[in-house]
A and B are shown apart, each in its own frame.
Chain A
Amino acid sequence: MPTPSFTLFATLYRHLARHRKALYAVTALFVAASCLAASRAHIEEDIVSMLPDDGSNVDRDFRLLQLAPFTRSMVITLKAKDAGDPAALTAAADRLAQALTQADAGRVTTGLTELSGGFLGWLGSMLPNLVTGPDLNRLAAATSPAEVQGRLRQSYQRLLSPEGWALKESIQSDPLSLSALGLEKMRFLNMIPNMRLVNNHFVSADGRSALLLVQTKAAMTDSAACRELMARVDRAVAASVPAGMRATVLSGHRYTLLNAETIKRDLYVVLTLSGVAVLAIYLYFLRSWSAFFVFLVPSSILAIASGAIALSQGSVFAVTLGFGGVLLGMADEYAMLIYFYCRQGGRDPGTITAEVARPVLFGAAATMVSFGVMLMSNLPGQRQLAVYSMIGIVSALFISLVVLPHLIKPAPQGKLALGNINLGWRLPRRAVIGVWLAVLALSSWQATKVRFNGDLRAINLISPELRQAEEELASTWGNMRGKALIFAEGPDLESALLVNDRIFRRISGRLAAGELVSLAPLLPSELTQKENRARWSAFWGDGRAERLAGELARGGDALGFSGTAFAPFLATLTHPPPPASAAGLREAGMGELLDSLIVRSPGTVRVLTLVPDTPQVLAPLSRELKGMPGVHLVSQSRFGDTMGDAIIRDFSRYMELTSLFVLLLVIALFRRPARIALVLVPVVTGLVCMFGVMGLTGLEFNIFNIAATILVIGICVDYGIFMVLRLAGDADPAATISVLVSGLTTLAGLGALALAHHPTMQSIGITVLLGVGAGIPAALLVIPALSPGERP
């Protein structure tokens, strides 16, 4: 029976055989141009590329989470070996702050400025704007005749003490200490749970640590800027932190830098190792100088795919490049088939190419379908990965079927090195099938245990030092970064504050003050303040102000106060002050607080409320806040769950579509059910074993494993096609060694990826290693065992 072939390739071969130099020159030029383009690519390390952009709000939530207080800041803990000398600690914090400022690290904060005088004065004067209904009940109790006399005497005593020198003005404006009502509102602004103020510095409860916050200008996604910033910060720390103390710097910049440097180092290691390993495999199995040309195929497609992405999209995601290592190992399948068939010789290379084109194109079609499905992904990074891989596959096809046949010389007598490998037909088939079924059964059982993890932090590298610093930060200062965020959003500050007031009214009763951080009690919207002032005026308007003035006059006279001593205070009762404003609060020394809880961007102002990130708190709050316009509740835990759901959703769709398309393709190509089932043996085995080992070892399935799974499908389907075509007598026995060698090179590429330090790349490597590692023996051993009547 004549072997089906694609005569186009035979014709093309014969035509190009007359123009080989031109063909080589054009190919070399194209690859060189691709290298140039690839070398100029901007490598994008932003994890946002792996967030859905389907309008599902996951990317919005992710960006909102980045606005959390202390997420944007560099947090430095200065720790003394021994407690007991707060003055030395705060002095060292000041020296470090000065060194950081001189190093142009950013705006450094060591504590609250002007808290005692300016802020308390502001708080007292703004009371009419801030009091609520319940506050007025307490105000009524505080202004009873007995209370007035007691409080007035207290103020008199304070005035005579040394402290009184600092308090004259505040006693004139608030002789009854009514501003304590305002201080109560500070309970809702405890952003650092274990912090206290010592010498106006942030100091830990145990007195051993001081906290410095640095607002930097360097973008956290810019690794070059991060590197430069961290170098300056480290120099400032080294130069200014005294003996007996140490500084721990925690910042998103440090994570960015660590991840960027690790990815770059991994890329170097992966590409080098996989390149060397693939070359070694070629030299051992191919044993010919022609092998060099086969080796050039994956190298060339790596350059072409990278260059094409760089030219078309401007930047290449680091993960896409990392995937290049895998592609390098995968794309030689087609070249390998061509190589072995051409080396066997015996016929015109054009004819051989036309015949081999069939399995090559079938395999490539299946792989293209797999990656084509990924084009529908909601993740920009995955889509780029799909385009990258498809460009690589098309390039591999072109070079393998058009260029390579001209470069391979037939082996002497057409004998292939190691060409008599026929593993599958030498092993007892029942034993092979038995083991296979057992492995499948065990893997299927364990596969049910695989957990989907949507937490993006899980795919970030965190060094032991950083993890220790995180733990130390949490143990020293409390959970200052792990809060859920409620955003009150509006086109301007007033609108956002108005929404913030509504949020506070809804949830303040549900949470203890220490659990809730909100600006609403201290800086309500102007509308709320107007209501408060009206309530204040009504409270004092029914003759209460006059009665209080009389009480003050009587009590004051007895203590020697003049009749006008408290005129500023009495004026505020009947003439409320202008509204409290963000500018006034900032001037009073609370700028840091405002910067932490008010986030401005063009056209939008967001005011943050912080609540504990626990299911017990978030579930009822979600219901309470649902449907409120301008309100967004985001949290790391919920975000992880949402991402996990998105991964499962995306993955389910991939699996459905890929399975459908690959099945349709295989049916169209092979038609006979038995053949179709055999083609699918490697892919089914690969996937089941991959999930099985993941479930068995506790490896979680993350967002990058989706791409890895597609790769497993693409590669394993190819193996099935190559092997089954051989059974049918459609292909030459060289297919076995071709599958073996290309499988080994794929494993070499993936093995290198599994050695990467970055969890993302490692995760891809291990996953594909498991899938392809199971798919190869399934193709080489199980397919022959399942088809004894079709031995070649």
Chain B
Amino acid sequence: MRALPILLACALFAAAPGARAAEPSSGSGQAALFSSLERSAGGVTTLSSDFVQEKHLSMFKTVVSSKGRFYFARPDRLRWELTAPVASGFVLNGEKGRRWHQRTGRTESFQIGQEPVMKLVSDQLFAWARADFGWLRREYRITVQGEAPALLRLEPRSAATAGFLSHLLIGFSADGRYVKSVEVHEKDGDFTRIRFVNTAVDKPLKADLF
């Protein structure tokens, strides 16, 4: 699936704390960083955050900005909600999901496994939410570009994916507890940047969010 690596970026707003101990150029330092991220993320039960998305696509005359909120509750519940310029979103809850659109005014349920694109989205989101670096390192070559705050560069291993995706840049907050920004750079020069703000970790979330 060509789009799979790109989707991975969508998950980067999920928890990835604890990047301070990384050694940028050292292989063992990287391993220690990932191990640290996995350990730290293991303790995260909920996340909530606002986000701002900038689309730098040649399809648009100018940069298109949108904003919204996302929520995550361990182990497998997630809500992505766009609030402007259009209202839409989806909820993932185990193997089930539902989505809605302001334009149609409808909410529809779906089985994640039966919708390949949503399946890819959810796989990526949850892999990052659970900080499964073993899986991520199989899919990407990950290099540490900065320590404080941590900045990771991910390059796809698959030649097919590398045909259109250049790399991902993942920036962490100063305290390393959550992802601050994500950039998806495509081969054709287009890129998307998502900045997460007002992130709350391990705060109680309303059950009806999911």
* In the complex, chain A residues 320-346 whose Cβ is within 8 Å of any chain B Cβ: none
The reply to whether B1 and A114 contact each other, CB–CB distance below 8 Å, is: yes
Partner of B1, one of A117, A163, A560: A117
The reply to whether A160 and B95 contact each other, CB–CB distance below 8 Å, is: no
Among A164-172, A665-673, A700-708, A744-752, the one that faces the other chain is A164-172
A residues less than 8 Å from B80 (CB atoms): 161-162
* In the complex, chain B residues 1-49 whose Cβ is within 8 Å of any chain A Cβ: 1-4, 6-7, 9-10
Partner of A165, one of B10, B66, B85, B113: B10
B207 contacts A by Cβ under 8 Å: no
Partner of A160, one of B53, B90, B121: B53
Docked CA distance A161–B85 (Å): 11
A27 contacts B by Cβ under 8 Å: no
Among A151-159, A461-469, A537-545, the one that faces the other chain is A151-159
| B37 CB to nearest chain A CB (Å) | 22
B82 contacts A by Cβ under 8 Å: yes
The reply to whether A162 and B103 contact each other, CB–CB distance below 8 Å, is: no
The reply to whether B61 and A560 contact each other, CB–CB distance below 8 Å, is: yes
Nearest-CB residue, chain B, relative to A200:
B116
Known: A153-B103, A199-B119. A562 touches B113 (CB 8 A): no
Chain B 104-121 against A: per-residue CB contact (8 Å), 1 yes, 0 no? 000000010110111111
The reply to whether B121 and A560 contact each other, CB–CB distance below 8 Å, is: no
B59 contacts A by Cβ under 8 Å: yes
* In the complex, chain B residues 48-103 whose Cβ is within 8 Å of any chain A Cβ: 53, 55, 57-62, 64, 66, 80, 82, 85-86, 88-90, 95, 101, 103
Docked CA distance A171–B59 (Å): 10
The reply to whether B1 and A116 contact each other, CB–CB distance below 8 Å, is: yes
| A367 CB to nearest chain B CB (Å) | 68
The reply to whether A560 and B113 contact each other, CB–CB distance below 8 Å, is: no
The reply to whether B113 and A86 contact each other, CB–CB distance below 8 Å, is: yes
B residues less than 8 Å from A157 (CB atoms): 82, 86, 88, 101, 103
| A93 CB to nearest chain B CB (Å) | 12
The reply to whether B82 and A565 contact each other, CB–CB distance below 8 Å, is: no
The reply to whether A162 and B7 contact each other, CB–CB distance below 8 Å, is: yes
A187 contacts B by Cβ under 8 Å: no
Partner of A163, one of B60, B64, B86, B117: B117
B184 contacts A by Cβ under 8 Å: yes
A residues less than 8 Å from B192 (CB atoms): 165
Known: A156-B86, A165-B3, A198-B111. A87 touches B117 (CB 8 A): no
Known: A165-B6, A168-B59, A198-B114. A160 touches B1 (CB 8 A): no
| B123 CB to nearest chain A CB (Å) | 9
A residues less than 8 Å from B6 (CB atoms): 165-166
A residues less than 8 Å from B113 (CB atoms): 86-87, 90, 197-199, 203
B residues less than 8 Å from A564 (CB atoms): 58
A792 contacts B by Cβ under 8 Å: no
The reply to whether B59 and A166 contact each other, CB–CB distance below 8 Å, is: no
B residues less than 8 Å from A168 (CB atoms): 57, 59, 190
Docked CA distance A203–B89 (Å): 27
| A147 CB to nearest chain B CB (Å) | 13
The reply to whether B103 and A165 contact each other, CB–CB distance below 8 Å, is: no
A142 contacts B by Cβ under 8 Å: no
B residues less than 8 Å from A116 (CB atoms): 1, 116-117, 120
A115 contacts B by Cβ under 8 Å: yes
A150 contacts B by Cβ under 8 Å: yes
Nearest-CB residue, chain B, relative to A197:
B114
The reply to whether A161 and B59 contact each other, CB–CB distance below 8 Å, is: no
Partner of B82, one of A90, A115, A160, A166: A160
The reply to whether A159 and B111 contact each other, CB–CB distance below 8 Å, is: no
Docked CA distance A562–B103 (Å): 22
Docked CA distance A609–B9 (Å): 44
Docked CA distance A557–B62 (Å): 11
Docked CA distance A114–B85 (Å): 32
Nearest-CB residue, chain B, relative to A557:
B61
The reply to whether A560 and B60 contact each other, CB–CB distance below 8 Å, is: yes
| B64 CB to nearest chain A CB (Å) | 5
The reply to whether B9 and A163 contact each other, CB–CB distance below 8 Å, is: no
A residues less than 8 Å from B184 (CB atoms): 165
Nearest-CB residue, chain B, relative to A166:
B3
A406 contacts B by Cβ under 8 Å: no
A residues less than 8 Å from B3 (CB atoms): 117, 165-167
A residues less than 8 Å from B125 (CB atoms): 162
Docked CA distance A342–B38 (Å): 100
A561 contacts B by Cβ under 8 Å: yes
Nearest-CB residue, chain A, relative to B60:
A560
A196 contacts B by Cβ under 8 Å: yes
| B120 CB to nearest chain A CB (Å) | 7
Docked CA distance A441–B181 (Å): 97
Nearest-CB residue, chain A, relative to B1:
A117
B residues less than 8 Å from A557 (CB atoms): 61
| B104 CB to nearest chain A CB (Å) | 8
The reply to whether A160 and B66 contact each other, CB–CB distance below 8 Å, is: yes
B residues less than 8 Å from A171 (CB atoms): 59
Known: A116-B1, A160-B55, A562-B61. A166 touches B88 (CB 8 A): no
Docked CA distance A162–B125 (Å): 10
B residues less than 8 Å from A163 (CB atoms): 117-118, 121
Partner of A562, one of B4, B60, B82, B121: B60
| A206 CB to nearest chain B CB (Å) | 13
Chain A 98-125 against B: per-residue CB contact (8 Å), 1 yes, 0 no? 0000000000000000111110000000
Nearest-CB residue, chain A, relative to B6:
A165
| A121 CB to nearest chain B CB (Å) | 9
Nearest-CB residue, chain B, relative to A154:
B103
Interface centre among A86, A116, A161 (most CB of B within 10 A): A161
B residues less than 8 Å from A560 (CB atoms): 60-62, 64
The reply to whether A196 and B114 contact each other, CB–CB distance below 8 Å, is: yes
Docked CA distance A415–B53 (Å): 115
Docked CA distance A198–B57 (Å): 32
Chain A 506-521 against B: per-residue CB contact (8 Å), 1 yes, 0 no? 0000000000000000
Partner of B95, one of A87, A114, A115, A562: A87
Docked CA distance A91–B67 (Å): 36
B residues less than 8 Å from A172 (CB atoms): 59
| B13 CB to nearest chain A CB (Å) | 10
Nearest-CB residue, chain A, relative to B120:
A166
Chain A 542-565 against B: per-residue CB contact (8 Å), 1 yes, 0 no? 000000000000000100111111
A residues less than 8 Å from B59 (CB atoms): 159, 168, 171-172, 561-562, 565
Interface centre among A86, A156, A163 (most CB of B within 10 A): A163
B residues less than 8 Å from A118 (CB atoms): 2
Known: A87-B95, A153-B103, A561-B60. A167 touches B117 (CB 8 A): yes
21 contacts between A and B (CB under 8 A): A86-B113, A117-B2, A150-B103, A157-B101, A157-B103, A159-B55, A160-B55, A160-B64, A160-B86, A160-B88, A161-B90, A162-B10, A165-B7, A166-B7, A196-B114, A197-B114, A198-B113, A200-B116, A200-B119, A561-B60, A562-B61
3 smallest A-B Cβ distances: which pairs?
A166-B3, A116-B116, A198-B113
